[in-house]
């Protein structure tokens, strides 16, 4: 149905609230990069209007830290623009602080909490090899 795949890969040892938080943040990055990914607004039978949602499914995967590093590296090698969340961002309170703490790390030393991207299905599968469906 879709030539592309949207994937979110979360570090498996995160607390449940952290997994939800990271997923939400990473998904907004995908929506910002691909404005056409959202459909029309939703309307219920009473006429209330709700925000548009993604037009395609989002696959959520889990991986350990080392596999996340590999996925991050593969995405960079393929020049995929990704959303990335590093562990230190949990201790900040707003966007400017998030960007400041993010800028302190390289792909080699970042403690990745999650990564998300949209890419061709086959490429997405190759990049995320080693991750498994999130339970």
Query: Taking the domains of the chain in order of start, what are their residue ranges?
Result: 4-133
The CA distance from 29 to 84, in Å, is 9
Query: Residue 83 pLDDT more than 90?
Result: yes
Which residues of 65-110 form beta strands (DSSP E)? 83-86
- Helix, coil or strand: residue 5: strand
CB 135 within 8 A of CB 128: no
- pLDDT score recorded for residue 15: 97
Eight-class DSSP state of 90: G
Taking residue 27's Cβ as centre, other Cβ atoms within 10 Å add up to 18
* pTM beyond 0.85, yes or no: yes
> What does the pLDDT look like over 97-115, one tens digit per residue?
999 999 999 999 999 999 9
pLDDT band at 93 (very low <50, low <70, confident <90, very high): confident
Q: Please state whether 6 falls in left (phi above 0), alpha (psi between -120 and 50) or beta.
A: beta
Query: Residue 91 pLDDT more than 90?
Result: yes
> What does the pLDDT look like over 64-75, one tens digit per residue?
999 999 999 999
Residue 89 parent element (H or E):
none
The CA distance from 127 to 115, in Å, is 11
> In this structure, what token pair is assigned to residue 80?
């995929």
H-type alpha helices, 37-94: 65-77
CA 26 to chain centre: 4
Q: Does CATH place domain 4-133 in 3.40.1490.10?
A: yes
H-type alpha helices, 39-93: 65-77
């Amino acid at each position: 149905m879709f030539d592309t795949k949207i994937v979110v890969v979360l570090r498996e040892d995160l607390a449940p609230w952290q997994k939800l938080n990271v997923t939400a943040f990473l998904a907004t990055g995908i929506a910002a990069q691909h404005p056409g990914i959202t459909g029309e607004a939703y309307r219920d039978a009473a006429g209330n209007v709700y925000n548009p949602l993604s037009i395609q499914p989002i696959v959520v995967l889990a991986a350990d830290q080392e596999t996340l590093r590999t996925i991050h590296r593969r995405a960079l090698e393929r020049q995929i623009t990704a959303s990335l969340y590093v562990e230190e961002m949990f201790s900040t309170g707003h966007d400017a602080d998030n960007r400041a703490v993010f800028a302190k790390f390289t792909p080699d030393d970042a403690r990745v909490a999650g990564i998300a991207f949209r890419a061709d299905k086959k490429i997405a599968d190759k990049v995320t090899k080693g991750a498994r469906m999130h339970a």
